[in-house]
Amino acid sequence: MAFVNLKKKEIQVKIVYYGPGRGGKTSNLEYIHGNFAKRINTEMVTVKTHGDRTLFFDFLPFDIGVINGYDVKIQLYTVPGQAKYNATRRLVLRGVDGIVFVADAMAMRREKNILALKNLHENLAEYKKSILKIPIVMQYNKIDLRKQGIPILPVKTLEKDLNSQLKRPSFPASAMLGYNVVATFKQIISMTVASIKKDIT
Ligand SMILES: Nc1nc2c(ncn2[C@@H]2O[C@H](COP(=O)(O)OP(=O)(O)OP(=O)(O)O)[C@@H](O)[C@H]2O)c(=O)[nH]1
Ligand SMILES: [Mg+2]
């Protein structure tokens, strides 16, 4: 559960962007950083990248104000999506309160999305957390590529592959254009804060 500092009346909420390599997790955080620059009075921390691949994680703190007398601080993280960095992915998941699963809507990435979701399931289980209980929002990213004639999975297929059991809110999105990036972000914050409220009251 979230880190609560009773003395400072502060709650730290950890939200992790998870998903296959090159799916657009870092791009989501970059867009949020660019658009809420005034409320985020710090730089986005990108811990080691190789080209544009995340090697460890990205980190972005976000202050959403006071809820029930508690100053709520959101911490956004991304994991490295490449299969070989599973130890790091698992570490970033430690203490997670909410997850945005960023799937890559390109047809050629169908299998990678399914494997990444399975991997999330397994890594949460390491922390005795159930994917069925943690707040999750699904994002089907890169739908802008359809306009360029690149084969994109229909939302129906993505829903069937990734969300038929979970049945969580989902958004077609373009992290590059910013389409539904903020909507995804607001949705996960509201679900996560709601679940934390239940824990502390
Ligand atoms: N066309 C298009 N390209 C995108 C979109 N989102 C991300 N990209 C591109 O896809 C590539 C990978 O994006 P990243 O945000 O670095 O992906 P990531 O999920 O952080 O990747 P890893 O760090 O390797 O796990 C970059 O070249 C992005 O510019 C999108 O919505 N549309
Ligand atoms: Mg990244």
Q: What is the pLDDT of residues 6-31, one digit of tens each?
A: 888 899 999 999 999 999 999 999 99
Strands (E), 2-134: 3-5, 10-18, 45-50, 53-67, 70-78, 98-104
Q: Atom of ligand 1 at shortest distance to CA of 141?
A: 31
DSSP state at residue 126 = H
Distance in angstroms between the alpha carbons of the first and the last residue of the chain: 13
- Alpha carbon of 61 to ligand 1 centroid (Å): 21
Does the beta carbon of 54 lie inside 6 Å of ligand 1? yes
Pairing of strands 3-5, 10-18: antiparallel
* Predicted confidence (pLDDT) per residue in 75-94, tens digit: 999 999 999 999 999 999 99
Does the beta carbon of 176 lie inside 6 Å of ligand 1? yes
pTM attached to this predicted model: 0.94
Q: Atom of ligand 1 at shortest distance to CA of 21?
A: 25
Distance (Å, rounded) from C-alpha 18 to C-alpha 92? 10
Length of the chain: 201
Does the beta carbon of 26 lie inside 6 Å of ligand 1? yes
Nearest CA to ligand 1 atom 9: 24
pLDDT of residue 192: 95
Percent pLDDT > 90 in the chain is 70
Task: List Cβ neighbours of 16 (8 Å cut-off, separation of 6 or more).
Answer: 76, 77, 78, 79, 92, 93, 96, 98, 99, 100
Does the beta carbon of 180 lie inside 6 Å of ligand 1? no
pLDDT of residue 38: 67
pLDDT of residue 144: 98
Does the beta carbon of 52 lie inside 6 Å of ligand 1? yes
Distance (Å, rounded) from C-alpha 14 to C-alpha 193? 10
- Alpha carbon of 190 to ligand 1 centroid (Å): 25
| Ligand closest in space to the Cα of 139 | 1
- Specify the DSSP element, H or E, that contains 118: helix 110-126
- Residue pair 40/62 in contact by the 8 Å Cβ criterion: yes
Does the beta carbon of 155 lie inside 6 Å of ligand 1? no
pLDDT tier for residue 114 given thresholds of 50, 70 and 90: very high
- Alpha carbon of 23 to ligand 2 centroid (Å): 8
pLDDT of residue 60: 83
- Residue pair 149/116 in contact by the 8 Å Cβ criterion: no
Q: How many CB atoms lie within 10 A of CB 115?
A: 12
| Ligand closest in space to the Cα of 81 | 1
